Amino acid sequence: MPRGRGAERRSVSGSRHPGGSRTHRQEEEGTMKNTIATLVRWSGFGALQRFLKARHAVTIVVYHDPTPEVLREHLRWYAKHYSFTTLDAVAGAMETGRWDRLPAYPLVITLDDGHRNNTALAALFREFDLRPTIYLCSGIVGTARPYWWKTAAADSIGVERLKRVPDPERRRLLAEAGDDPDRDGADRQAMTWDEIARMTDVADYGAHTRTHPILLRCDDRDCADEITLCRTELEDRLGQPCRHFAFPNGDFSDREVEEIRRAGYRTARSIDPGWNDAATDPLRLKAFPVSDDVTVDWLSVQLTGIPAWLRKRRTAAADVSTGGATPEWAGPMVKPKSAGI
C-alpha cells in the first residue's frame, strides 16, 4: 500500500550522542543554531517567508509539554506576527471555500498526547485569547499508564528501534523489560479526566489514538480500533464531538487516511512541515513541530521550515548506513526536542 509523506517521518524526541563530550557537542550545536538564527533574522528571510507563505495560508504548530514560562514567550512572539484561530475555523474554511472568514496570518496551536502539565497552560490560553487543540490518547489520559517512550524500558531498548518493529513486538519488548504499557506506572504522566473537563472552556480536544502506537506497525484491525475507539471514548467521556485527529509520530499511509475518513473526523494533522491552503487535504494537514524549550529566535527559524528541510536531507543521506534510523549526528540542531514522539 502506498505510504503517505508522513510515513517517512522520524522521531522528534531528543537523542543521546555516543562518544565524545556531550557538552562540547551541545556547544557546537548551540553556536550553529545561533548563527542560523542570526542570519535568518538579519536577512529578513523569516519575515519574507511569513509574508509569502503564511499571510493567506494556515500555519499549525505542534507542542507536547512546554512550560508556561517558555510558552508565554512564544505566544508573545506569535501575537506580534500571526492571528490565532482554531482548527474548527480552518476546517470550516476548507469545507466551504470561505477562506475570507479566516484572519490574515492564521495560526493554530496544537499540543500532542495530553501531558499532565498541560493543565498549567490554561491561564495562558485565556490571557492570549486563543483556543488550542489538545490531542489526547484516550487509553492513557485518566490513568497512571505511562507514555511508552518515556519509560526506562524504552530508554534501554531504544525508542527508534521500538518505532520500527511490529506493534505486538513493541509491546512485548516493553513488557519483558519491565514496563508493560497496559499497567500503571509509578507516577502519573497524563491529564486526568477531571482536568480535561475543567479546560473545555479554553481548549478543544482531538484524538491521538488510544495508546499511541506507530499506526504503520499495526495490523488492519488494531489500526482501525486505535483510530475509531479513541474518538468514541473521548466523546463518551467529554460529552462533545471529537472532530480532529493527529497521527502519532506523524506516521501515516493511505490506509490510515481512509480509516480516519470512515471514522468521520474533519481533519487529521501530520508533522509534515508546511502551510495549509485551499489545495491541502484536510486529512493530511501540514504542521511545524516546535521544540518545547526553544528560544524565540530559534522558534522563528523552525517556522521557516529550514530545520525540517535539513533534517530530511541528513536523514535521507544516512538511511543507507543506519538502516533507516535517524542518525545520532542529526542531533537536536535539526530535531525538535520535546516530551513526545
CATH number for the domain that contains residue 104: 3.20.20.370
Residue found by looking up cell 533574522 in the block: 41
The verdict on residue 62 lying in a domain is: yes
Residue 214 lies in a domain: yes
- Segment 111-132 shows an average pLDDT of 98
In a shared domain, residues 67 and 133? yes
Reported as type and span, the H/E element at residue 245 is strand 244-246
User: Is there a single domain that holds both residue 170 and residue 202?
Assistant: no
CB 240 within 8 A of CB 206: no
Verify that 69 and 215 share a domain, yes or no. Answer: yes
For residues 260 and 173, membership in a common domain is answered with no
Amino acid identity at 212: H
Which residue type sits at 154? Answer: A
Residue 192 domain boundaries: 45-143+188-310
Count the domains in the chain: 2
Q: What is the CA radius of gyration of the chain?
A: 19
What tens digit of pLDDT does each residue of 147-172 get? 999 999 999 999 999 999 999 999 99
Q: Which residues contact 41 (CB under 8 A, 6 or more apart)?
A: 297, 300
**Based on the domain organization, do 79 and 211 belong to the same domain?**
yes
Q: Alpha-carbon distance 143 to 215, whole Å? A: 22
Task: Give the chain's mean pLDDT.
Answer: 88
For 263-307, write each residue's pLDDT tens digit.
999 999 999 999 999 999 999 999 999 999 999 999 999 999 888
**Banded model confidence at residue 6, pLDDT cuts 50, 70, 90:** very low
Average pLDDT over residues 228-254: 98
Does residue 19 belong to any structural domain of this protein? no
pTM of the predicted structure, to 2 decimals:
0.86
Grid cell listed for 314: 541528513
Do 154 and 303 fall within a single domain?
no
- pLDDT band per the 50, 70, 90 thresholds, residue 318: low
Query: Based on the domain organization, do 172 and 231 belong to the same domain?
Result: no
Q: Specify whether 163 is located in the same domain as 101.
A: no
Pairing of strands 106-113, 133-136: parallel
**Residue 30 is assigned to a structural domain of this protein:** no
Q: Which triple of cell numbers denotes residue 276?
A: 495549509
Q: Which of 128, 159, 182 is the last residue of a domain?
A: 182
Let me know whether 80 and 108 are in one domain. Answer: yes
The helix/strand/coil state of 107 is: strand
Tell whether 18 is covered by a domain. no
Half-sphere exposure of 315 (CA within 13 A, CB side): 18
Residues 129 and 153 in one domain: no
Indicate if 156 and 207 belong to the same structural domain. no
Distance of CA 195 to the CA centre of its chain: 21
Q: What is the dihedral of CA 142, 209, 185, 332, to 10 degrees?
A: -120
**93: nearest Cα among 320, 285, 298, 327:** 285
**205: enclosing H helix or E strand:** strand 204-207
**246 falls within a domain:** yes
Within a domain: residue 25? no
Calculate the CA 201 to chain-centre distance: 22
Residues 293 and 165 in one domain: no
Does the residue 32 lie in any domain?
A: no
